[in-house]
Amino acid sequence: MVTDFEVTEPMIYAELHCISNFSFLRGGSHPEELVQRAAELGYTALALTDECSLSGVVCAHREIKENNLSLKLIIGSEFRHKSGVYVLLAPDRQGYSELSQLITHCRRNAPKGEYIFSPEQLLSLNYCLLLWQPERAYCQAWLTQLTDTFTDRLWLLAEKTLDEFDDAHFTYIVQLGEQTGLPVTAASNVHLHHPSRQRLQDCLTAIRLNRAIHSIRHMLFANSERHLRSARKLHSLYSRALISETMVIARRCHFSLDEIAYLYPTDSVPEEKTPSGYLRELVEQGQKIRFPNGTSEKIQQTIEKELALIQKKKYEHYFVTLFDIVSYARAQNILCQGRGSAANSVVCYCLFLTEVNPEKVQLLFERFISEERHEPPDIDIDFESQRREEVIQYIYRKYGRERAALAATVIRYRPRSALRDVAKACGLNAAQQDQIVARYAGRYLGKDWMERVFPADGSAQTKLLRSLTEEILGFPRHLSQHVGGFVISEGSLTKLVPVENASMAERTVIQWDKDDLETLGLMKVDILGLGMMTAIRRSLNHLGLQMSDIPNEDPATYKMLQKADSVGVFQVESRAQMNMLPRLKPNCYYDLVVQISIVRPGPIHGDMVHPYLKRRNGEEAADYPLPELKPILERTYGVPLFQEQVIAFAMVAADFTAAEADQLRRSMASWRRKGHMHALRQRLRTNMLKKGFSEEYIERIQRQLEGFGEYGFPESHAASFALLVYITAWLKCHHPGVFLAALLNSQPMGFYSPAQLINDARHHDVTIHPIDINQSNWDHSALADDAVRLGLRLVKGLSQETAKLLITKRPGNGYQSIQECLSTGKISKHEREALASANAFACLSEHRYHARWSVSEPSGHNYQPDLLSALSSDNPWPLSAPDEVEDLLEDFQSSGVTLGRHPIEILREKGFLGDSVSAAGLRERAHESECYIAGIVTCRQRPGTASGVTFITLEDETGCANIVVWLGTAKRQLATLMHARVLQVYGKIEKDEKSGITHVIAYRLIDLSHALGHLKTKSHDFH
Partner 1 sequence: MASSAQLTAVMSSWMYLWFPDMYLHSLMTDSADTRSPCVLLSERQHVLQLTDTARTAGVQPGMSLASALLLCPELVIHTLDSTYHQQLLTQRALWACRYSAQVYPDSPQGLWLEIGSMLKLFGGLRNYWRQIEQECLRQHWPVQIATATTPLAARWLALSDTGRPTLQAKELRPLIDALKLEDLQLPHNQLLNLQRLGICTLAELRRLPLAETGRRISPDLMHQMQQLDGLRQYPMTPFQPPLTFSDSALFSHDVEHRNGLFFPLSRLLNSLSGFLHHHQLSVRWIDLSIQHRDQPQTHWQIHFARPEYRYNELIQLCRYQLERQQLPAPATALNLNVERFCPRASEQAELDNSEAGHQKQSINLLNRLYSRLTERQINNLQTTGDPRPEYAWNIATPTKHHTDSAPTRKGQWPLWLLATPVAIPEPDLSPQTVVHGPVRIDSGWWEHVQIRRDYYQLFQHQQLLWVFRDDQGCWFLHGYFS
Give the shortest CB-70-to-partner 1 separation in angstroms.
31
Among 65, 108, 112, 199, binds partner 1 (CB under 8 A): 199
Q: Which of 225, 306 has the CB closer to partner 1?
A: 225
The nearer residue to partner 1, 730 or 849, going by C-beta atoms, is 849
Rounded CA-CA distance 861/809 in Å is 18
Choice between 679 and 975, CB closer to partner 1:
975
Query: Measuring CA to CA, how many Å separate 703 from each of 65, 225, 506, 635?
Result: 27, 41, 43, 22
**Near partner 1 in 425-484, by CB under 8 A:** 426-427, 430-431, 434-435, 437-439, 441, 444, 460-461, 464
243: left (phi over 0), alpha (psi -120 to 50) or beta: alpha
Segment contacting partner 1 by CB under 8 A, of 162-170, 182-190, 610-618, 944-952 = 162-170
Question: Closest separation between CB of residue 847 and partner 1, Å?
Answer: 9
CB of 867 to partner 1, least distance (A): 13
**Sheet holding 767-769: strands in order across?**
767-769, 787-789, 781-783
H helical segments located in 441-564:
449-453, 460-472, 514-520, 531-543, 555-562
Among 67, 92, 127, 166, binds partner 1 (CB under 8 A): 166
- Judged by beta carbon, residue 653 or residue 1005, the one nearer partner 1 is 1005
Q: CB 594 → partner 1: shortest distance, Å?
A: 38
| Continuous segment of H or E residues that includes residue 953 | strand 950-956
Report d(CA 566, CA 581) in Å as an integer.
9
Region from 164-172, 504-512, 669-677, 755-763 binding partner 1, contact rule CB under 8 A: 164-172
Pick from 15, 50, 159, 202 the residue near partner 1 by CB under 8 A: 202
Contact between residue 42 and residue 8 where contact means Cβ atoms under 8 Å apart: yes
What amino acid is encoded at 12 in this protein? I
Query: What minimum distance in Å lies between the beta carbon of 725 and partner 1?
Result: 36
Q: Does 247 bind partner 1 (CB under 8 A)?
A: no
> Which residue lies nearer to partner 1 by CB, 251 or 443?
443
With CB under 8 A as the contact rule, the residue among 324, 518, 890, 955 that binds partner 1 is 890
Task: Choose between 198 and 321: whose C-beta lies nearer to partner 1.
Answer: 198
Residues belonging to the chain: 1023
Q: Which of the residues 821 through 880 are near partner 1 (CB under 8 A)? A: 833, 837, 849, 852-853, 856-858, 869-871, 878-880
| Closest distance to partner 1 from the beta carbon of 275 (Å) | 57
CA distance 338 to 729: 20
Q: Which stretch binds partner 1 (CB under 8 A): 36-44, 258-266, 761-769, 973-981?
A: 973-981
Q: How far is residue 328's CA from residue 772's CA, in Å, rounded to a whole number? A: 38
DSSP class of residue 819 equals: H
Which residue stretch of 135-143, 323-331, 702-710, 975-983 sits at the interface with partner 1 (rule: CB under 8 A)? 975-983
- The reply to whether 140 sits near partner 1 by the rule CB under 8 A is no
**One residue of 304, 451, 978, 992 binding partner 1 per CB under 8 A:** 978
Cβ atoms within 10 Å of 553's Cβ, excluding its own: 11
- Comparing CB distances to partner 1, the nearer of 124 and 856 is 856
Q: Candidates 38-46, 52-60, 734-742, 886-894: pick the segment binding partner 1 (CB under 8 A).
A: 886-894
**Which of 96, 92, 34, 91 has the alpha carbon at shortest distance from 63?**
34
What residues numbered 203-242 form the site for partner 1, per CB under 8 A?
Answer: 213-225
- Contact track, partner 1, 586-615, x by CB under 8 A: ------------------------------
Smallest distance, partner 1 to C-beta of residue 382, A: 35
Determine if the peptide bond prior to 358 is cis (ω within 30°): no
Judged by CB under 8 A, the residue of 823, 893, 945, 1009 near partner 1 is 893
d(CA 532, CA 513): 27
Beta-strand runs (E) in 372-524: 379-384, 404-412, 476-488, 499-501, 508-513
Whose Cβ is closer to partner 1: residue 160's or residue 585's? 160
Sign (positive/negative) of CA torsion 926, 932, 934, 938?
A: positive
CB of 167 to partner 1, least distance (A): 6
Contact call for residue 979 and partner 1 (CB under 8 A) = yes
In the bound state with partner 1, the residue whose beta carbon lies nearer, of 212 and 787, is 212
**Cβ 241 to partner 1, closest distance in Å?**
19
Distance CA 213, CA 203 (A): 7
Spatial distance between the Cα atoms of 29 and 588, rounded to a whole number of angstroms: 51
Cβ contact 356:593 at 8 Å: no
> Which among 40-48, 191-199, 508-516, 646-654 is the span making contact with partner 1, rule CB under 8 A?
191-199
Q: Which of 478, 474, 468 is nearest to 203 (CA)?
A: 468
Residues 962, 951 contacting (CB under 8 angstroms): yes
Smallest separation, CB 774 to partner 1 (Å): 22
- Residue 122 CA to its chain's centroid (Å): 38
Instruction: List all residues 6 or more positions away from 576 whose beta carbon is below 8 Å from its beta carbon.
Output: 599, 941, 943, 945, 951
Interface pattern 918-957 for partner 1 (x via CB under 8 A): ----------------------------------------
- Cα(first)–Cα(last) distance of the chain, in Å? 68
Encoded amino acid at 8, one letter: T
Considering the complex, state which of residue 214 and residue 559 has its C-beta at the smaller distance from partner 1: 214
For residue 249, the surrounding DSSP H or E stretch is helix 240-252
Number of residues that bind partner 1 (CB under 8 A): 67
3-class DSSP state of 85: strand
Asked whether 768 and 891 are in contact (CB, 8 A), the reply is no
Neighbours of 637 (CB within 10 A): 19
d(CA 810, CA 387): 29
Could you tell me the smallest distance in angstroms from the CB atom of residue 437 to partner 1? 6
Q: Which residues bind partner 1 (CB under 8 A)?
A: 1-2, 162-167, 195, 198-199, 202, 213-225, 426-427, 430-431, 434-435, 437-439, 441, 444, 460-461, 464, 833, 837, 849, 852-853, 856-858, 869-871, 878-882, 886, 890, 893, 974-976, 978-979, 1017-1020
